Structure 1
Amino acid sequence: MTERRTYSYLGPAGTFTEVALSQVPEARDHEWKPVHNVGEALSDVLEERSHAAMIAIENSVEGGVSTTLDALATMPGLRIVGEYLVSVNFVLVTKPGTVLADVRVIAAHPVAYAQCHRWLGENLPRHEHVPAASNVASALGVLDGTLHADAAIAAPGIVQHHEFDVLAEKIGDNDNAVTRFVLVAKTTAPAEPTGADKTSLIVELPDDHPGALLEMLEQFSTRGINLSLLQSRPVGDALGRYRFVVDADGHIHDERMADALLGIRRFSPRVVFLGSYPRADRKIVQYPERYADEIFVEARDWLRALIHGEPED
């Protein structure tokens, strides 16, 4: 009999996070637990209330999700085991009977609100904004009156779960907006490489000096590794101290990636390895032939022969 597992996600039902979780084949027919924030989702995993948690980590418009990046940097014992992409657009919803001319105050999650500035400026230029914890929370707050707002920005799926009037559809500024989600579990060995993989880490610079960031980046560039994300976040213990969130193309089992990680470990006082996992787009990672695994293996064998006094070919 299959063990029943629990997956935490930012709820309630109807969020983009729920859409991301629906892409995980192994989560189907198991329990999905809605939570209030990223910290709660990750705590569920660490305290074994959940097998894994789905959280948003990056948006193509707004960049990295700071609450997620900071949580992953400060909550040890977690690994990213997969990533999933969700196309993002929004609707403006309200209680039945309200028309667009009645709208003065709009409830919205800050990230969603930032992605609808153009439409709001053109159609509701004098509106006020009330922040909400999530897209669904903004809509439900309007519906039950707990938020002082006339309408809410929400994901289109909200209308499948609650009775709303939709005042406008596709109000996002960017039709190509995508949010990247990651599935996070407790620390575990990385899955075998697929050839279309990504490695995520968080790296602190050793000190603040000219070229410090360049020295860190050279650990990747000199090994032919492309970075798809580089974002700074304050460490928080002093002004001017930063950690860097890095997404690198490749897998820890790749010789070039392993060599880069050794270089990063020698360079940085603190490195958080978040995981090596398949890319959501399944795009095969390309790299110059001189960085192929066998080149690294041959170089190590050559050095070993020199140390043992073996004659060179």
Structure 2
Amino acid sequence: MTGTLRYSFLGPEGTFTEAALTQMPGADRAQRVPASSVLAALSMVDEGDAEGAVVPIENSVEGGVTATLDAVSVTHRLQITAETLVPITFVLASAQPMELSEVTSVATHSHAWAQVRSWAQNVLPRVQYIPAPSTAAGAHSLRTSAPMADAAICAPLVAEQLGLHVIASGIEDFPGAVTRFVLVTKPGQVPSMTGADKTTVTIPLPEDRAGALMELLEHFATRGVNICRIESRPTGSAMGDYFFSMDLEGHIHEPRVADALAGIHRVSPAVRFLGSYPRADRKAQHVRPEVSEEAFDAATQWVASLTRRT
């Protein structure tokens, strides 16, 4: 495939991440470049070998993908410009036809294993789990001279692409699960506001004391900014040092969001803005009248009218 853009993604071919890539802006003219890991995909953007990277960031069952959260928040200086949701379903596949009772080891990604763990305990209680870099990597290994395991847990598409034998299908513990993927680029222009947007930030806890987190959250609460995801992650610098990764409803161009982040910056100057972008579910946010753009404009004009008297 040729194109004017290069998008790296968690490979190899046939991963859920590649399926997510096809839904991203510019995908129709992008060359797909598989990477061996999330870090490798993001490093390609950092080093100029790709214009964007598509990586998983959150799963409806397992929560945040820590490798992505840590890499985007700490290791790299990048920006999220788009997101998409991909429904997740799994099959158990082997290179040659075999029965469930013959499977002694299974290879897949840790997040996939977490989503089929109950099924595996009930159906394959003695099976050995072999971690793989991705679901597709475990499947691809079945076609090599040294497969990682007897079978792989992967997407139906990659099993079909590789001509694998499907031993069992629909094995996920939570039917209807989805994974959220993001398109990450070098920092640049923020996508236009749509009215159904999301903003991602990371905020180091400025001081480890009672009430410190509440004081940060109050900046959002008093301005009507809803936090739709919050997770704590270690900074890696010292035991007890954490930052908070958050998704906010709204766009940096909205006065209420900008004002909240300005307040956060005063108490936690190391706050990082990771991007404002359209929500994948297109769910429009509800803005209370007192924190609307009109309310902020009216308040600004009122203060200006007072200062003109002095």
> TM-score surpassing 0.5?
yes
1:47, distance to aligned residue in structure 2 (A): 1.5
Partner of 1:164: 164
- The question of whether the paired residues in 1 share the 8 Å contact of 2:138 and 2:148 is answered with no
Cα separation, partners in 2 of 1:76 and 1:105, compared to 1, 3 Å = closer
Partner residue in 2 for 1:307: 307
On the 8 A contact 1:107/1:142 being kept in 2, the answer is: no
Name the SS of the counterpart of 2:162 in structure 1: coil
Per the alignment, residue 280 of structure 1 pairs with 280
Q: Structure 1 residues 254-263 or 154-163, which shifts more?
A: 154-163
Aligned partner of 2:71 in structure 1 is 71
Any gaps of 5 or more consecutive residues in structure 2? none
Match in the other structure for 1:150: 150
Distance 1:176 1:219 in 2: 35
Cα distance in structure 1, aligned partners of 2:53 and 2:94? 30
Q: Deviations over 1:206-263 (max 9, x none)?
A: 1100011111111111101111100000111111111000000000000100100101
1:215 paired with 2:215, answer yes
Report whether the alignment pairs 1:19 with 2:19: yes
Question: Map of 1:31-70 to 2, 5 A cutoff?
Answer: 31-70=31-70
Is the 8 Å Cα contact of residues 107 and 147 (structure 1) preserved in structure 2?
no
In the alignment, what sits opposite 1:131?
131
Mapped contact 2:82–2:278 kept (Cα < 8 A): yes
- How far apart in 1 are the matches of 2:74 and 2:118? 36
Q: How many residues align?
A: 309
Change (3 A) 1:3 1:153: closer
Indicate if the aligned counterparts of 2:25 and 2:82 stay in contact, CA closer than 8 A: no
- Indicate if the aligned counterparts of 2:200 and 2:247 stay in contact, CA closer than 8 A: yes
CA-to-partner distance for each residue in 1:138-165, whole Å, 9 max, x for gaps? 1122332434421111111112321210
- Cα deviation for residue 77 of structure 1 reads 3.2
Give me the whole-angstrom Cα distance separating, in 2, the residues matched to 1:167 and 1:145: 21
Does 2:298 align with 1:298?
Answer: yes
* Aligned partners of 1:198 and 1:249 also within 8 Å: yes
Amino acid at match of 1:198: K
| Identical aligned residues as a percent | 46
Moved more, 68-77 or 11-20: 68-77
C-alpha distance in 2 between matches for 1:173 and 1:191: 36
2:3–2:30 contact (8 Å) kept in structure 1 = no
Query: Which amino acid is the alignment partner of residue 116 of structure 2?
Result: C
- C-alpha displacement of 1:192: 1.6
User: Residues 278 and 243 of structure 1: is their aligned pair in 2 closer, same or farther, counting only changes over 3 Å?
Assistant: same
Question: In the aligned structure 1, how far is the partner of 2:117 from the partner of 2:156?
Answer: 18
| CA shift digits 1:171-212 (9 cap, x unpaired) | 000012110000011101212200000000000011100011
* Contact preservation (8 Å) 2:205, 2:212: yes
Cα contact 2:8–2:33 (8 A) shared by 1: yes
Query: Which residue does the alignment assign to 1:240?
Result: 240
- Is 1:269 the counterpart of 2:269 in the alignment? yes
Q: Secondary structure at the match of 1:300?
A: helix
So what's the TM-score if we normalise by structure 2? 0.96
Q: Is the CA contact (8 Å cut-off) linking 1:89 and 1:155 kept in structure 2?
A: yes
In structure 2, the partner of 1:88 is 88
In 1, Cα distance between the equivalents of 2:168 and 2:77?
43
SS in 1 for 2:111: helix
Say if 1:81 and 1:275, in contact at 8 Å, map to a contact too.
Answer: yes
CA distance in 2, matches of 1:136, 1:62: 19
SS state at 2:172 partner: coil
Matched residue SS, 1:116:
helix
Provide structure 1 residue ranges, at least 5 long, that are not aligned to the other structure.
none
The amino acid across from 1:55 in the alignment is V
Task: Give the Cα–Cα distance (whole angstroms) in 1 for the partners of residues 148 and 34 of structure 2.
Answer: 24
Q: Secondary structure at the match of 2:171?
A: coil
Superposition RMSD on alpha carbons, in Å? 1.5
Q: Which amino acid aligns with 1:86?
A: V
Distance in 2 between the 1:67 and 1:187 partners?
Answer: 20
Provide Cα deviations, 1:249-291, integer angstroms capped at 9, x if missing partner.
0000001001001011112131111000000011111121111
Give the drift of 1:98. 2.2
CA–CA distance in 2 between the matches of 1:39 and 1:14? 19
